[in-house]
Structures are given as C-alpha cells and as structure tokens.
Structure 1
Amino acid sequence: MLKIASLLLVALSASALPAEPTPRAQANTVHDVKPAARGLAFAPKPSPVPDVVDDPAWLIATSGFCSNLNVVMKERDVEASETEGDTAAHFMADISFNYYPQTAVKFTDFPHHLAKTIEGDAAEADALVSSAWDHKNIALLEPTSTCGPEQGDQAWGISVFKVEEHRHCSDGETAWDGHPCVHYSGYVSAATSNFVNVNEGRFVCQLFVDSNTDKLSEDALRRQLKDVPIVLCKTMASFPLYCMRVGDFLALETLRSHEDLLVKGLIMRADRLEAPSINFVSHQWISTRHPDPDSVHLRTMQEVFRRVIRGENIFADDDVAAKFLTGRSRARSSSSDVLTTRERTFEEFQRSVSEGWVWLDYFSVPQKAGAEEEQAKAITSIPTYVAQASNFWVCTPLGVRRESGHQCNFDTWLMRGWCRMEALALDLTRMSEGRPIYLTHHLGEEPSASTQCFHDRLNLGWQRRKAVLTGDFARLSDREGLHAVIRELYHSALDSLRSVWEPLVESGELPRPMWERYIASADGADGGAYHSFFLLVGAEAYIFADLADEEHDQSYWEGALDGSEDAVKAWLLHRGEYAWPPDECWAWYAAIVGNLALFRFLIEELGFDIGAVNKYGMTPLTISANWGNISLVRYIVERTDAAHVLYKTPGLGLSAVGVAAKNGHHRTLSFLLQSKADVEVTRNDNQRTPLHEAAANGNEECIRLLLGAGSSTAARDGAGFTAAELAGKYGAMKEDAERVKLARLFEC
C-alpha cells in the first residue's frame, strides 16, 4: 500500500534564515564535517544525480509528533566572523524539543526534485541525526491553540531556526517510550519566529530541513508559505483515536457514550496499542438524543462480526467477496487499465475483526456537555482515523426509521455531508486499499454485504451531486470548515503519489510521455502511483464541488487558466505533462473534469481534433456526457454535426445520451434530446436503451425526460427486461415510498 502522509513539501530558502551561530562542542555539530566541504551552499546541485536515500544532503520533509518544547527568550547577536562563511545575524530565542518521526520523505532541490520515502521510524530518526544536517535551517510547524476559520493563515505556527544540536534522545528523555526520538536545540531569529505554545506533552508537528540555495527575501518566504494551498490545522490538530476491542464490543447490550466507557476502561487510545487493526464503523444517527436507541445498528454490526469470526461469508456472492479481497472486480481483472492493489486473504480479514478494535462515533468521540472543544477536534480528525482503519464498514440496514418517522438507510446515509467526508477520506488516504463494506440488507435477514473497487468508486461515486460539500449538514459551519480538510487531504495525496512516480520518470524506469506513463503505471510499474495521481487530478472538480451545477466550475477553471500558453504549460507541468505540445489525451482529460478553458485552448489554439476517439472508443462528447459536463457538451455539439451526437463506441456501444441517462445527468440529457439524440439507441453488450439505463439506476428526472421524448416502454434489454421491470428491481432495494414513486412513472 502506498504510504500516504500529510506532507507539506516546502523548500525553504537558506538566505531568508539567520546565519549560523558559533558552534559548541556537542554531538553532530559542524566540526564533524570539513568547513570547506560546506562552503556557502549546503547542498550543491548534483552531477550526476545521486541516490536520494544513500546521500543525506537533501531536503527532508517529515510528519510526526513533538514533545518537551521549550522556548527561552534570549536575544543575542552573532558576528560574521564567528563561524566561517556566515553573515552576521540577530537571534531572539533558544528553542529545544524532542521529535518523533512518523513519515519522512527526502528529495533533491531544483531542478531534480527526486524523492524517496524513508521507510521505518528508526531509519527516519537516523537520517535526521546525520551530520549532513549540522546547522541547517529547519522549519518547525506546530498547531495553534485554536483553529477557527477566522484565523486563516494562523492555523499553524512556523518557527524557523538554525540547528545547534541534533542527536538521538537519551534514556529517560523521551515522552513517548518505545518510539525513535530526535532531540533538537537551536537559535530562532526575530524575523521568522512564531511561537504559539510551550508544551511538555506530545503534539502533532512537522519539520522541513532545508538545503535550498536559491535567494529569497523574507517577504518572498512568507508569501511562499502563505500561498501553499494546504491548511493542516483541521485534521492535524487532532483528538486521539479511541477504540474498543471487538470482544468487548460484542458484549455490549446498548451503545454507551465515550465518557461512560472511558471510565470503565473499555475504550483505549490507538496510539498506545501495538499495531491495532481498526474497524471504522460509519452510520447515521437514528435519534438526536441517542444514535441507536433500539440497538439495531449495534446488533447488525455484532452479528456481522460474529459471522466473520466464525469464518462465514458475509458478502452477497463470490464475485463481491473476490472484489473485496482483490480490490478489483472480475470484469476488470484482464484489463490493462487496472490499478495495482494488494490482495488480502480471508484469513487476514478474519483476524482484522477477531483480533481487532472498533471505532464508532458515539463511544470514540466526546459526547457530554462541556466537551464541545474536544468533540470538534475529534470530528475534524475523522479523516485521519479513516486513514488508519483496516476495514471501513457502512452500517445502513433496511427497515430502520428515525424518530421523525423518516427512513434511515444507505441513501439517507449518502446524503449526509459528514458521511460523504468519511468516504472521501477513505478514497484519498487508502485509495485502492480502501475497500468499503456496505451493509444494506433488511433487518433480520442474513448479511449480504457489497463493496466497490477504487475504479468503480471513481466513476460512480465522484459526481457533483455526490460531493462532500453538496451533501446535507446540520450546521452550516461544518460545511464551511470542511473546505480546508478536503484541500489538505487532496494535496497530501497528490504530493505523496508524486514522490513515488516522479523519481522513476527521472531515472527512466517510468516512461516520460504522459499517456505511456499512465498505461505503465496501471500495469504496476510504479505500484499504480501515477495512475492514481492522474485519476485524482481528473477528479479535482468533483472533489471540491460545492454546487451540483457543473457550470459553476467554469469560473474556477478560467481562474487557473487565463488562456495564455504559459499558463497552460505551467498547469499541465504541475499535473505531470512534460512535453509541448501536450499529449492529445489532455483533450479527453479536459472532457472528464469539465475544464472548458483547457479544452477550448487545445481545440482552438493547438488544433486538436474535437472528435478524436481514444483507445476505448470514447470521444470528448461521450466523456463529457458521462460526467455531466454540460458546458463542454454544449461547446462540442455546437461545433459538430448530427452524426457526432449519434456516435456510439465500437465495443460496448456507449452513446452520449445513454451515459448521461445512466449517471443521472438530467440537464445534459435534456440538451442532448433537444439536439436530436436517438432515444432508442441501444448498447452493444446488453441491448439497453437510455430509458433502460435510467430505470436500472433509479434516475427519476432522466426517466421523465426520456418518456416525454417518446422512448419506448415496451423495449426489452438483452436479459429480457423492460425499463419498468428494471425500475422495479432497483426499487426492491429501496424503501416503500421510493419504490412506489418509481413504479408510478411507468403507469400512464
């Protein structure tokens, strides 16, 4: 599994920081290396390029914990002559603290940007105490005491200091027994100080060890830090993950609150356990007073856990079980377009339950009055809990009603913004390893769990109407606060993936041409890193959508691309395209994400073919319709002929009108129908018409549009079903009211 960490890769300028102070005779000081070898440049640009693991003289970005932070205000001036090669500087404080690395990446400075994850906490600690880092410039990021949205840039305090000493922690010096520890001390300049607390306890922090020699002013440094589009406060200033042993969970008669179980010693902090297997349980509260007053969700999870422990299959069928264990569907198993993923055995899954721990909001998050601050921290830390989970369970059995009388099922779970946030966190932190287990069977019946592979979740789940910020929130402030959480998760995922695939491109192990690289990555050349990277880049518009209307995105794209060639080059380079003119696949990419500004530039300025067919037989129109990008659909239809609107792919026989109906894009479907699309066009594989597709997926508005356009209700698909019968099969999985509503559409 790719190691995803919240790493903010910021290259700090050496000239923007204070000069080196007079060294003392301590471990790992400047006297361990020859001054002449250092000179003014800490890390000269390599020729040839070194191995970034064997050669330590490169920037390290590392995320972990700090403790024993001590700041002593002590001003002093250091003369230029006191340390060879340094300039005079003024310092305003001493700083010391212990650092416990959890994830670290080493990478070169410009122009190489090679990167490598340092595997293992002990190896990370060894790298950080190397003499190569003597008197380097280091940025310590620590959370502020409050993280309200009104503080914006103040979410994290940045203390930039010059290292005086760095060594392994001594016995009895650590606040976290058993974890590798590095002790730092140094001097902080008046220009870059930002102390937010003095903390003897353990808190989340990050370190960035500098080796850049570019000349930046202090103002430029501050702008660079400010402009990084990641705000770490929301998820990194975290509340500990509390969990309950599965055995104790099975003994519960009713769900008890966090405070009650904490007193009884039935919930534990995960960071004090040895490699716990966390079973994260997502569900919807049935009552405002108690999440599960009749214990229906508790009983559902207990029964499923017991069946897994006994070695029974809880999945709907063998195909679903195989999809969960392998991370991909059998239908995709022979395709080259498959994300490489680690397979699990049933025995591993069984142990993760039988020997595992349970996270469930009511007993893992503070609930009592007076604990609102801790509760808020725990809630905004949920994405980091999901990232640590071995299994992600969605408990939404049919037949449950809220105290208001309304249904409480998978569809209502999916409408809630926080539930969508949990699902998105799974995708962005675990990717192909995050395989949700959906429990949607009727109460009292045997479990028939389902799942989705990462590829299917991308195509089916990442739609604007299913985005986190278009979901329902009880409090508007929750919705507003999640912008920062989503941005951090998204950019952390991209940075971590880039650190895997980009060095392989530089070394020649991964093809440089973008599309060849995509195919090689899908086949596992880099563990699927670039494949995942490209998919995430392609999902950008949907992840950040705060309105279901696609046209709302166009101002976003136009802001990122002003229509100039330089802006387009920079935008594509950041997404891994090194060639100019770019690969033609970017036209299909623009169609996927709805980037009309990029698509127009490629068509009008570079002369790309507006009707180009990709390796899957898809045109930009088919792709745009599939994702509901009506702005691009309108642009393409206005510049092509009727035959283009009627086109269907050679293989499956997908048409623009068919995919729009299947995915519920009723505005796109309406425009295509006005453009004389064929309402009776059938797919080659299953002979379904657009009406069949809409009915099979319960897309009510699309059904109405197609019936109004005269689509035949008598036509049968390849399996012999009419659209009404497919709607009935879909309705059988839903509650009574929705089933009746779908059936009535076909009664006239």
Structure 2
Amino acid sequence: VTPVHTLMGMKELKPHEELMQEGILVEYDDSKGNAMFVSHQWAGAEHPDPNFEQFTVLQDALRNAMSGTSLISGNISIELYTGQQVCVSAKDLTSKALYIWYDFFSCPQSSARAHDRQLAISSIPAYVDRCQFFVILCPHVRHAKHQLLLNKRSWESRGWCRLERVARELSTRADTGVSIEIQGATHQSQAAAFGWVQAPVGTGSFTVPSDKEKIAQVLQRMVRKKLHYYLVRGDLHSYRLMLNIQRVHYKDLHINPIEGLVPGFVSESHDPAVYAAESFMFQNGFNSINQRTAEGWTPICFAAVDGSPMLISALLEQRADVNDRMKQREPASQFGQDTPLLHMCAFLTNNEALRVLISSRADVAARDGFGATALVWAAFSNNVEGIKALWAAGCDPAAVNMLGYSPFRVASAVGRVDAMNELLPHTSKEEINLALHAAMLQGGGSAEVMSTLLRVGAEVDFKLNMPLISPLGIWFGCLSLRHRWKSSLLSSYAYHHYGATPLMCSVITGSFEATAVLLAAGARTDLRNLARCCGESWGLNRVRVPVFRLGVKVCPY
C-alpha cells in the first residue's frame, strides 16, 4: 500500500516493481491506521490508466473529501425508502492515517513474477478484508484502445470487479466498513450493499475465459469462511441466509453449494424430495415447518431464497403456507417488512420456484411492506421470465408501490432495460414521462435507459409536478424542510424537484450520462423550476459530461 499523502503527490502511475525500488510502498498492518481498497476497471490494455484520468479523479476526490470541500453522501435509494441518512465525513477519513491499496502498484506486474502475481490475485479477498474503506472508482473516461466509455455500469460488468465487490460483502468487516462510489472529483456517494445480488460474479465478463474457473474456487472459499464465521459467532440468521443464497453467488459457475456443514444428519427416506426437505431442516436448525425465527423467518422463507422448486414443493406438501412472509425488514437482502415468498423468488430470479408457488395458488396480488407486488420485484431485478409468469397469472402491471411507482417506473429507476421493454405495452404515456425523473433519482439514468425512454415518446423537457398530497409528495415536502439545516443528495433533489426538467435533475444527482443524452436530444437549458433555477444555475456549462449520440453503447469489457 501507499500512504495517502504519497498518492496525492503522484504525477504518473508506476507499477509495483518501480515503487518498491523507490521505497514508496509499505507493508500494511492495522496498527498503522486505516486502509482503503480501490476497485477500478482498467482504461488500457497494458496499463490501468494510460492518460492518468481515473487516477486524477481519485486524487481530487480524496483531497476534497478529506478537506471537507465535498461530502460523501448517503445512498439515495436507501434514504428514499427507509429515511436513513448516513454520510461519510472528513473526520471519518482523517481520524487515522490512511493507506491506499491499488492493484497496479500493490501487486507484482512483471511477467517474470507471474507466480507472485497470481498469489496476489488469489489474495484479493484477504486484502479487502483488512480494509476499512472499499472504493469503486468509476468516473466517465474513454478506454485508451477501444475508445468506449467506461463508467459504473461497465465497471459492474467486469467479473473481477464483481469479485472484489462480493469480497467486500463477505468480509468480516462488512458490518463496520464503508463502501464508496467515486464518479467525479466532487461526486461521491456511499455504495449500496446489495449490488452483488443483481450482478453475480459468474455472469460478469472476463477477458481471459479461464479466469472464471479460478474465481469460482476463490468465491467458494470466501463463502465457506463466512459460513464458519457466522457459526462461531452464533449468528444463526446470517448463517441461514448465506447458506441458502449460495445459488445466487454461484450463478453460471461450475460449483455446487456447500452442504453438510452441520454433522450428524441421518435420513431413512428414499424419496429425493423428502430427503432434501429433511436435510434442509437439519442444516438450518429447524424443528418444525411452522417454526419462526426471532427475525421473522420460517423454513419456507429460506427455501424461497434457495430457489429449489423440489424443496419448495416438499415443504408445501408438509403444510407450509404458500403465502408465508418474512416479518421483519432484511437489509442484507434488500427485502422490506412482510415480504411474501413470491416476491423473494421474483427478485432472486428463482423462476422455477416462482411457478411452483403460482401453481399452488399463491396470492399474486399480495403486497409487501413497501406496498409492492411481486411484479415490482421482478422488474427491479430485470427478471423478464418472472414478469411473464406473473403477468400470465394475473398480476396487475399497473399496480404501484408506496411511492406511486409502477413496475415500469421501477425498472427505469434502476436501469433494467429488458424489463422496461417487456412492460412497455402496459405502460401509460404519463408513466413513461415520470420514468425519466425516476431514472435520475435512483441511479438508473444510463445512456441506454434515456435513449429507450426518449425513443418511446418521453418528453425531453417534461416538468415534474409531484402532487403534494401523495406519499412521495409528502416525503419530499419533509425533506425540503430538512434541507435548510441538514442537507443530503436526496433532500437537494426534493427541494428543487417541483417544476424541474429531467436535465436539471440529471445535474443535481450527478447523472451525467443522462445529461449528455438529454442535451443531444435537444433539452432546453433555460427552463426554470419553482425555485427559479435552470440547468445553467447548477453550472451546467462547467460540468464535464461525456459526448453521446442517441442509442450509444458503453464499454462492454
């Protein structure tokens, strides 16, 4: 690692071997202070940052955050749905000496040290585990060779980047550490802890296909370590959740879920379904099909997370409730209070289990604590197959959640283009217009989403006029009042939203891909909101935005 003050003074990015010779790198241990792991997508074929663009953003962002010039805001979606506002202050970053881990100078790069380099790569989970801060460095820059745009979405598409993120969530510091997204020198925010659910490691892209097999073994070791960690701590709920969500972690990887961690299971049954149910009950520590944990989960709730249709069927045959719900909010899995089984399967794309529940007459109109139907959760996870199954079973595509969001607007808000296209025939023109704003508010404002919405008729200058007497209108009213003495990214949006155009909202939220597409589509910069602000009021002419044509695609690498 390198001390942060040394990193700030770097004028070029040198490899590990050169910095070792210069005596700049130090071996980190906890007594020295805090460590920060920087995860990033390489902007060149042989060098991570040939034009020193990403690294300059990192330097400027850390300088601004540590001086208090900019604030690392809380995650806007979490604050929107739960009201929790947690920011990372300058004091959090400077209370102890800070050291930076960055692959190019922290791992051997020389081909002559290929073995050492492979050991270092295999040790990435250990590096992440020792870091108090995990940074996703994802500014808008062009790949030096391919000239394609790199950003948060292209970072998230990379298998190795996904591994680093899931290593963060499986680390022993997951509950106390902080994950941060850096998209610009003054645009930083806390990263959502549940992003890995939507982007399993095995479904990411790999430049070297054989890397996928290496990653599979590394990932399973991390999961096994975390399971033992929970057992030793006596945290049975987290153990059960991790045990049963393995199929999500291992999607598209040639490995099987870890089984039999708890010794002593014996069964006399020769029926595979009965055997599976008995083993499941034993390994999860349940004595009864109706037993409910202190956290509000029954056995079939965990089975819905596992997603085995045979297991779900076996538990239903034993009189488990097809309309059962988990009773308490579960931050680790993103589910809200009173989430039905159907919603869990729809979100986790456990579609065979979803069909078993539907055929067993699960209530497709049921709503969770967020007021959402299962169709909303299928849209959230881009689960087109689940959307089709739920719609065929009678789930209303126009049913809205507690914020007034339809499934289409939810899909737009989180950037799920396949789900948007599937839901489009059931979507009104007003919903399409409102989806422009939802995408900006919750991070879905990619070039592809904006282009899709504009192509199907969204008005480029549609002004947002949220009814005051509505769930979101009341919430925004409260946030606007709070904004005067305690601001956040969400409160700033709430304060300025009334009468704002999509262009204004894109600048407020730092959705600069959307800004570029809207400008290319002819968005006006002189229109004003109720507070008499326009796009130029937020320094639009000084904002660095990528250049787009409608229908642009970002880097797939």
C-alpha offsets along residues 595-654 of structure 1, whole Å, 9 cap, x if unaligned? Answer: 2222111101x111212344333322222212221111211222217xx223334x4321
Q: In structure 2, which of residues 415, 419, 428 is the aligned counterpart of residue 712 of structure 1?
A: 428
1:156-305 residue pairs with structure 2 within 5 A? Answer: 243-270=1-28, 274-305=31-62
Cα deviation, residue 738, structure 1:
5.4
Match of 1:431 in 2: 174
Q: In structure 2, which of residues 153, 157, 162 is the aligned counterpart of residue 411 of structure 1?
A: 153
Query: C-alpha separation between the residues in 2 aligned to 1:534 and 1:745?
Result: 44
- Change beyond 3 A, Cα 1:284–1:608: same
Match of 1:314 in 2: 71
Match of 2:409 in 1: 692
- Change beyond 3 A, Cα 1:666–1:439: same
- Change beyond 3 A, Cα 1:602–1:580: closer
- Change beyond 3 A, Cα 1:498–1:400: same
Give the conservation status (yes or no) of the 8 Å contact 2:346–2:377.
yes
C-alpha offsets along residues 120-168 of structure 1, whole Å, 9 cap, x if unaligned? Answer: xxxxxxxxxxxxxxxxxxxxxxxxxxxxxxxxxxxxxxxxxxxxxxxxx
- Change beyond 3 A, Cα 1:369–1:409: same
Match of 2:455 in 1: 744
AA of the residue aligned to 1:533: Y
Would you say 1:682 and 2:418 are equivalent positions?
no
Match of 1:457 in 2: 193
Cα deviation, residue 660, structure 1:
0.9
- Change beyond 3 A, Cα 1:726–1:422: same
Match of 1:673 in 2: 391
* Structure (1 or 2) with the greater strand fraction: 1
What stretches of structure 2 of length at least 5 have no aligned partner? 261-266, 328-336, 460-557
Cα deviation, residue 388, structure 1:
0.6
Query: C-alpha separation between the residues in 2 aligned to 1:418 and 1:701?
Result: 24
Cα deviation, residue 544, structure 1:
1.4
SS at match of 1:598: helix
1:293-692 residue pairs with structure 2 within 5 A? Answer: 293-316=50-73, 319-320=74-75, 332=82, 347-352=91-96, 355-429=97-171, 430-441=173-184, 446-452=185-191, 457-458=193-194, 460-463=195-198, 466-501=199-234, 529-546=235-252, 563=272, 565=274, 567-579=276-288, 582-583=291-292, 585-604=298-317, 606-615=318-327, 616-640=337-361, 644-649=363-368, 651-683=369-401, 685-692=402-409
Query: C-alpha separation between the residues in 2 aligned to 1:679 and 1:670?
Result: 10
Give the conservation status (yes or no) of the 8 Å contact 2:203–2:252.
yes
Percent identity for Structure 1 against Structure 2 = 23
Cα deviation, residue 486, structure 1:
1.0
Cα deviation, residue 547, structure 1:
6.4
- Change beyond 3 A, Cα 1:347–1:498: same
Give the conservation status (yes or no) of the 8 Å contact 1:278–1:390.
yes
Cα deviation, residue 292, structure 1:
0.7
Give the conservation status (yes or no) of the 8 Å contact 2:38–2:102.
yes
Cα deviation, residue 332, structure 1:
4.5
Cα deviation, residue 674, structure 1:
2.4
Cα deviation, residue 468, structure 1:
0.8
C-alpha offsets along residues 660-719 of structure 1, whole Å, 9 cap, x if unaligned? Answer: 112211111022222232121122x211111111121221111111123x3222248xxx
Query: C-alpha separation between the residues in 1 aligned to 2:406 and 2:444?
Result: 21
SS at match of 1:439: strand
Query: C-alpha separation between the residues in 1 aligned to 2:396 and 2:445?
Result: 30
SS at match of 1:476: coil
- Change beyond 3 A, Cα 1:732–1:538: closer
Cα deviation, residue 568, structure 1:
3.1
CA RMSD between the two structures: 3.3
SS at match of 2:51: coil
TM superposition score normalised by structure 2: 0.71
Query: C-alpha separation between the residues in 2 aligned to 1:545 and 1:434?
Result: 26
- Change beyond 3 A, Cα 1:648–1:582: closer
Q: How many residues align?
A: 436
AA of the residue aligned to 2:117: Q
Query: C-alpha separation between the residues in 2 aligned to 1:451 and 1:246?
Result: 20
TM superposition score normalised by structure 1: 0.54
Query: C-alpha separation between the residues in 2 aligned to 1:682 and 1:333?
Result: 20
AA of the residue aligned to 2:91: E
- Change beyond 3 A, Cα 1:580–1:664: closer
Query: C-alpha separation between the residues in 2 aligned to 1:431 and 1:534?
Result: 17
Give the conservation status (yes or no) of the 8 Å contact 2:413–2:445.
no
Query: C-alpha separation between the residues in 2 aligned to 1:599 and 1:257?
Result: 52
Query: C-alpha separation between the residues in 2 aligned to 1:547 and 1:373?
Result: 24
- Change beyond 3 A, Cα 1:346–1:320: farther
AA of the residue aligned to 2:378: A
Give the conservation status (yes or no) of the 8 Å contact 1:402–1:408.
no
SS at match of 1:440: strand
Query: C-alpha separation between the residues in 2 aligned to 1:700 and 1:676?
Result: 23
Give the conservation status (yes or no) of the 8 Å contact 1:467–1:542.
yes
Query: C-alpha separation between the residues in 1 aligned to 2:436 and 2:88?
Result: 39
- Change beyond 3 A, Cα 1:725–1:646: same
Cα deviation, residue 289, structure 1:
2.2
C-alpha offsets along residues 4-38 of structure 1, whole Å, 9 cap, x if unaligned? Answer: xxxxxxxxxxxxxxxxxxxxxxxxxxxxxxxxxxx
What stretches of structure 1 of length at least 5 have no aligned partner? 1-242, 335-340, 502-528
Give the conservation status (yes or no) of the 8 Å contact 1:624–1:630.
yes
Match of 2:476 in 1: none
Cα deviation, residue 471, structure 1:
0.8
SS at match of 1:252: coil
Query: C-alpha separation between the residues in 2 aligned to 1:498 and 1:265?
Result: 42
Larger Rg: 1
